[in-house]
Amino acid sequence: QVQLVESGGGLVQAGGSLRLSCAASERSFRTGTMAWFRQAPGKEREFVAAGTWSGSTTRYADSVKDRFTISSDNPKNTVYLQMNSLKPEDTAVYYCAARSRFVVVVTPDYDYWGQGTQVTVSS
């Protein structure tokens, strides 16, 4: 069973930055694609960013493009989400996800999920 553990959430002022981490229990065919989703209170879970461990393929939601960056440290089996120029509307619980296919998708069609980390952006 693949385990994903997020960290790095917190409270930040608008315009600030945070870096989320997702430590995966393995880096294998079972975690071919890694992604970040978020869910705000009363809203559906939405796609934020995704990519492969090689970094050759990445995708971003339009709402975070040019502000957020997904990256990985392969020896550490860790994926990051660098979030800059944060806005109050970025407030949500952020989830790390993995799927056992090397195809980046923006729907929640992922096999494994972390427990989530809260990000709160104050105005």
Given this model, what pLDDT does residue 19 score? 98
Q: What is the pLDDT tens value at each position of the chain, 123 positions in all?
A: 899 999 999 999 999 999 999 999 998 888 889 999 999 999 999 999 999 998 889 999 999 999 999 999 999 999 999 999 999 999 999 999 999 888 888 999 999 999 999 999 999
> Looking at residue 29, what is its pLDDT?
83
User: What pLDDT is recorded for position 3?
Assistant: 96
Q: Which runs of E-coded beta strand occur in 1-123?
A: 4-7, 10-13, 18-24, 33-39, 46-52, 58-60, 68-73, 78-83, 92-99, 112-113, 117-122
The pLDDT of residue 49: 98
